[in-house]
Structure formats: C-alpha cells, structure tokens
Structure 1
C-alpha cells in the first residue's frame, strides 16, 4: 500500500477551497483509491459548507472509498479559520463503520452513568449492580472486556494491518475495547466536532456516501509506525509525586496527602495563576522524565482533597505523576515536523473549545504538503501498538489543548 497524497489547506475563502478540492479530484478521482478527509465545521454560510461536503463526497469517484468527518477549527493556532485535510491511499484498503456503543460522558466526582439500554443497546450493568455493596471495580473490568471487532474488520488479516485511523463520536470506549483484538496495531482516533446546531447531528461522520451522527468510521492501513504524543505549550511545574489513593475519576491522595492542597501549594511556589483550574493537568511520568498520558483536572476541593480528572478512570495507585500547566491564553505553535515533514505524516491535535488569539489574514492559501492535520475540541484517542500481546493498555483520550498525536505514514513492516 502507498500513500499517494497528504495535505492540509487553510483556504483564504470557501471558493478557494472548492478550487483546491476540484484540482485534487481531477488527479486522484476515478482510480478506485481510498480517500479520507477532515473538514472544519465553522463555515459562516451553511451553503458553503454543503458545497464543500458534496465535493468531498464525490471526490474519489466510482469504485473508490471515502471516510471523513466534520472537525473542529484550529483554536489557538495562528492560521486561517477554515481548514480541510486530505489523504489519498492506493487501494486495496479496508474502510469500516462501527456502531459498537460506549459510555456516557463522565460526571465530575462520581462514577459515570451508563447509557440507557433502550437508547444505545449497550449496558453491561444489571439491576443488581445498583444494589448496596456493589464492587465497582468489577463492573469497570467487565465493561472493558474485548468485544467483537466491527463487522468490516472481522475478516482482516491482522498481520497486514499497521494502523487504524478513525473518526468517532464522544463515546469510543466500546470500539476501543474491540481493538484489543488487534494488539500489534496502532489505533489513532479523532473525536468529531459537536455539530447539533450545524447539521442536526451530535457529530457528523461520512462513510462511502452515507452520513452518520454517532459511532465511528475509519480505515485500516498497512502504513504507519508507532504514534508519537507531544504536548505543545504545556510545561511541568512540580516535582514528580505518586498517586496513593484513587477511585473512579477521583485522585484522593498523592504522596498520602491532600492532592488539592498540594496542587495549590505548587501553583503558589511557581507564581502561577490559581484562579482557573482548567489550566492544570496531571501527567504520567515515564522513564527519562518524559510525560506520557495526561489528564485535565476538572475540579478540586481543598477541604475534601480529591481532584477530579477528565477521564473515566485515573492512573493506578503507585503511578508517578507531575502537575502540568498550560495558560488559557496560550497559542499553539505547530512543530517544523508538520510544516515541512521528512516523510508523509498524519496528525490529530487537541484544541480548546473557545478561540484563542486571532486567526491570521493571508492573501494566499496556507497549504501543508505531506501533512494530514485535523483538530478536535473533544480530544484525540490513542491505543498504542503493543510489543507484547499478553500485556494490556487501555485506549486513552487526550483532551488537553496542545496534545498532538502524529503517525509517520511511511511504509512499515508489520511486527
């Protein structure tokens, strides 16, 4: 398999985007290729959005396959407001549609509620689970058990798949659990932009001529090496400490002490602004003091002590962590590896929900060649490939603004 084209355009106008789509379609359409795209949803005129979606839907022509989504604008990045990313792959490639349900969004400070069975068809929790004395850790473990892969992926030879690229709604847990059946494959997902007031759907996903408002769509590729995670504009400001007690999405003690008081103390020592808890996160410390997974802190109570994280589950007790800071007003500087990549690169960027700074005004389109870059205000989902298939590492959603997951799309040999 070969990647034929990757690019990201920040067009000066909707008409300029239309021209770019038309020119690329002339080159790659009608050859039976596989096409992926991410189009930012923030058009001023609904008619311009509709025209762009129609052009992208018809981009690859008869015999080809299409996977796409409406994505978030690049809030905090000095670029134009509109964007569209393009990826064309030589077929055969397997695209898929998933309706495997997940969980409802976490409620701060309490165990998450499961979606109503009649609405989503999906709870693994029974009435007895709500009785006094329930072992919630057991409930969690049962909900994480691997299920069947999406139907389109069930006949795949796992030895031929290096990466799965997909676009999802805000509940990817069920799909990610099924990906445990492909432990040696890197799985990288982008959460679609919220579009209830744009298209009437919670998210807007595209798969081979059909539009979906839930679930996920994606493509299986024999390309892609291990994903890399970077945090743009994020800095540590504390010494490494250890989680000593936690439950659900709550960190109850750190170093056997009140974690909220520790956070406030470190904020004062660093001379930082303590008025906005949303500026702060918890990062898992890896060997070499590199930061691995990150978790946004959503609330903290000095009297009770617990810190609530934007996650279904905290890191385990005994995990070494550090407090992280990213100012609310910080802009995101894209790395040179995306602006001028040495090899074709796919990147998913987590951004803030509100615009930061000002979008630049250029006379010309801004085009990133050999780079597929899309943004999400709801987070990037990463399930890394595992060298040891007997180990287990759950998927993780990075919702920290500045979190950038990249995947080298050079041909790779499956391990």
Structure 2
C-alpha cells in the first residue's frame, strides 16, 4: 500500500476541497481502492460530483458506498471518504452466494439477478442448487421432512465444490504471491468468500458488506469498478506482498459464562454446550445478571443483544449474534450460515444497549499504512436541513490510514497462519473492527 487517506467532513464539497489540496499519486501508477460514505442529507448530485472526481481521475479503481466513519461522542452525521493506492489486481465477481439465514431453518430465497452484466452462474464455473430445491428433495412420501438429508448438505451448497469458482482476473495467480485480498460485496458474499479462501489459503481475505443504498442511488448496493457501477456481486483487489499483520477489536462485551465446549451443532444452530441445553444455559446466565431475553423470537431484550464468542488462545476470534432461542428444544440460532463446530470453545456474551460502540476510529492509535473495516450501528437518519459548506471545513483528516464502515457487517477469512479456523465468517456486532497493517520493513 503506497498511500492511504481517510477524510471526514461536514459535506461533500468540504471533502472535494480537501481532496484537491492533497498530493495524490499519478492515475496510471496505482489502483484506487475507495469508499464514499454520505450523510443522510447528501443529495444525489453532491454524491455524483464526489464519485466522479475520483473515478474519472483514477480510471482503474474499485469502490463502494459505505456508512460514515463513526466519531466519538456523536452520531455519524458527517460525510467521509477513504482512499488507498495500491499495487494489485482489481477484479469483479458475479459469483452468487446463499440466501440470508432465517432463524435456523432453510428457506426459499431470491435468485440473484445477473441482468446487469449478462452473466449467469455457469459463467463462473459453478452450477447452483437453490435452497428451496434442497428442501424440496428432502420431503418424504408422507409429507414430512427428512432433516438428516437436509443437514447432510454442506453449508456451501449451491456452490460447486471442485473447483471452486474464482473471478477470471484471479484464476492464473500464484497463491503464495498474494498476501491479502480486499473486496466490497453485497449481502450474499458466500460464493466469492469460499472461492478466495480455497484458492488463497495463506492470504488474509477481508470484505466490507456495502451499505444498503435503495433510497440514495436507487440500487440495493452501489459498487464501483473501472468506470462501471454495479448493484450486486463484489469488486475487489488482490495485493501481491507478504501477508500483512492482522488484528481484531470488539466492543466492550460482557461475559455471561466461562469458557465452555460446543458438544453439538448443525447448520447455524447450536444444539448443545457442555452437554447442556444452550437456551436454558443462556437464560440462567441472563437471570443471574438481572437482564431480560425474548426466546422464540429474533428480538433481544431491552438491555441489548446477546452473542456467542469463539475463544482461541484465550482471545476472541469470532463473535456471532444470537438471533433466537427455544427453551423446550434447547437450540440457539445464530445470525450466521455456520455455527461453531463441535469441540470449539465458546463463551456467551451480552452487549449492553448503552455501550459506547462508536469509539473514535481516527486517532493516533490507528496504525500508519493500515486498512481498517468496522461495523457501524444501524442508526435511522434524522431529518435535518442541509449543512452549509465552508472551505476547508473537514472534521478530521487522517493520513496513511484507510478506515471504512458499514452497518451490514464485514467478512473475514484470515490466512492459515493466524488461526486454526480460517473459514470465512461475518462480523455484525456494532463496533467490531478488523485491521490489516503493512509493515514497511516486511514489504
């Protein structure tokens, strides 16, 4: 990474003013990786002017519309733009993912549209099986469902297992030469994340799930790639270098239980923790803390949300939100496609609703020459008059750091030297943060 910049300002015009004063690399020398994060009162014309200023000046680029970088002690009402100039191989993916998980059961989901690019699932070397078809094939003659058949389908069903699909630009790369892959995706990243993990096991793969933009641009998501705008799929860049340093940061989660082993799980369900009923274990811990929880629903209690954290080497390596629990059956459903496997060590956690998860993200503690992706809180926009523009009125300028956020979450698949479990997982806990740091001495 040659240069990284994060700007936060009151308006797009303030950001444009700051950008014009920066000494940026020549357009032909690097690939631009960027995110645009407008506040709720930004107009389409203002957003267009900001995106055009970047994409026209740097024709080789990948980017997306994200959420404003949260600042300490205030709502993220400012606009932000994050830029990184890197040597790498940009790519565009139309590899389909899986429908979103629904409270621990298979369901009929939407089929991704490929009309904008003219591509079909077969274009990426895979034939997809819709989850509805999988469920249909599991019906027995008496109308009941053969759940053993359902659960025998691997979590990556819908994706051809051998070989895994890859974007065309990445198919001829030598895996040991790639140290990291950064990409922006819609909310169905399973296809591309699995393909990247199997093809580049030693590289860190990190994705930002782009912010939802139907009321801003008329698209469900807004992705940029070399002069074109896309509504689905993924765009990204593979960076040839040594593998960067990786660090995980989570908000102030409150542990409800000690470390316990997973003794049974299937799909996104935890069936047994330490040979005990998971939901009753959770309810007991909640009662001891004087909190509340609504079982059999997807809603957490008034005090906040509850999570299952995976522990490796006495540190949190993954955190999954609990979407529902059933005291009679004992199962806990997680907001993920795959629950921690049998033998994993976990703790149950609580994130208080009053927790300050919008800690300062632009500070002296942010490593130089780094890239940080974080999960922002979902905040409903408040009606407010447009902010007046003042030349140079930029809240914060941070050089040598790329910082971007999204309310939809981030996907991490660490290289095999970082953890024993390097399969892709999605972090949706507000305040969760992943940072890649390129050590100048190592590259």
Q: 1:297 aligns with which of 305, 319, 322?
A: 322
- The Cα shift of 1:118 comes to 8.1
Of 32, 54, 62, 2:29 maps to 32
**1:5 aligned to 3, 6, 12, which one?**
3
Secondary structure (helix, strand or coil) at the match of 1:268 reads helix
Q: 1:376 aligns with which of 406, 418, 428?
A: 406
- Larger mean CA deviation between 48-57 and 183-192 belongs to 48-57
Task: Please report how far the alpha carbon of residue 222 of structure 1 lies from its aligned counterpart in structure 2 after TM superposition.
Answer: 2.4
Structure 1 pair 265–54 and aligned structure 2 pair: CA distance change class (3 A): same
| Cα contact 1:252–1:258 (8 A) shared by 2 | yes
2:227 is the alignment partner of 1:215? no
* CA 388–320 in structure 1, closer or farther in 2 if over 3 Å, else same: closer
Matched, 1:99 2:97: no
3-state DSSP of counterpart to 1:227: strand
* 1:226 CA displacement: 3.8
Aligned pair count? 402
2:40–2:381 contact (8 Å) kept in structure 1: no
Query: Which residue pairs with 2:425 in the alignment?
Result: 396
Contact residue 12 and residue 364 of structure 1 kept, 8 A: yes
Give the Cα separation in 2 of the matches to 1:129 and 1:23: 61
1:411–1:161 CA distance, 2 compared to 1 (3 A): farther
Deviation at 1:412, TM superposition (A): 7.4
* Alignment match, 2:339: 314
Give the structure 1 partner of residue 117 of structure 2.
Answer: none
Question: Mean alpha-carbon deviation: is it higher for 132-141 or for 162-171?
Answer: 132-141
Distance 1:166 1:388, change over 3 A: closer
TM-score normalised by L of structure 1: 0.87
- 1:269 alignment counterpart: 288
Question: Where does residue 161 of structure 1 map in the other structure?
Answer: 178
| Deviation for aligned residue 1:283 | 0.3
Deviates more, 1:64-73 or 1:135-144: 135-144
Kindly report the root-mean-square deviation, in angstroms, between the aligned alpha carbons of the 2 structures: 3.0
Residue 87 of structure 1: how far off its partner (Å) = 0.7
Larger mean CA deviation between 65-74 and 204-213 belongs to: 65-74
**1:342 Cα deviation from its structure 2 partner:** 4.5
**Cα distance in 2 between the residues matched to 1:98 and 1:266:** 44
Match of 1:151 in 2: 168
> Residues 383, 49 of structure 1: CA spacing in aligned structure 2 closer, same or farther, 3 A cutoff?
same
Q: Relative to structure 2, which stretch is displaced further, 145-154 or 405-414?
A: 405-414
Q: Is 1:284 matched with 2:298?
A: no
Structure 2 counterpart SS, 1:166: strand
Cα drift, residue 403 of structure 1 = 1.0
Q: Does 1:87 align with 2:84?
A: yes
The CA deviation string for residues 208-236 of structure 1, in whole angstroms up to 9 with x for no partner, is: 10000111000111245142211022232
The verdict on how the C-alpha distance between 1:40 and 1:8 changes in structure 2, with shifts beyond 3 A counting, is same
Alignment of 1:3-402 (within 5 A): 3-24=1-22, 27-44=24-41, 45-60=43-58, 64-74=59-69, 77-78=72-73, 80-81=76-77, 82-89=79-86, 91=87, 93-113=88-108, 115-116=110-111, 121=121, 123-124=128-129, 129-132=137-140, 133=146, 135-140=149-154, 143=157, 145=161, 147-179=164-196, 180-223=198-241, 224-274=243-293, 276-277=300-301, 279-287=305-313, 289-332=314-357, 334=359, 339-354=364-379, 364-387=394-417, 393-402=422-431
8 Å CA contact 2:175–2:200 kept in 1: the answer is: yes
Task: Give the structure-2-normalised TM-score.
Answer: 0.82
Q: Deviations over 1:4-37 (max 9, x none)?
A: 221211102221111122333x632434321111
Query: What is the alpha-carbon distance in structure 1 between the residues aligned to residue 179 and residue 404 of structure 2?
Result: 20
C-alpha separation in 2, matches of 1:14 and 1:41 = 8
326 and 355 in structure 1: CA distance in 2 versus 1, 3 angstrom threshold: farther
Gap change, CA 1:404 and 1:249, over 3 Å in 2: same
Can you list the C-alpha shifts for 1:227-276, whole angstroms capped at 9, x where unaligned? 22110222323211222222222222222222222112112223445463
Task: Return the offset for 1:304.
Answer: 3.2
Contact 1:106–1:113 (Cα < 8 Å) also in 2? no
Structure 1: distance between partners of 2:165 and 2:104: 31
Gaps of 5+ in 2: 115-119, 122-126, 141-145, 295-299
Between 1:112-121 and 1:378-387, the stretch displaced more is: 112-121
SS at the partner of 1:42? Answer: coil
CA distance in 1, matches of 2:205, 2:104: 29
Cα deviation, residue 301, structure 1: 2.8
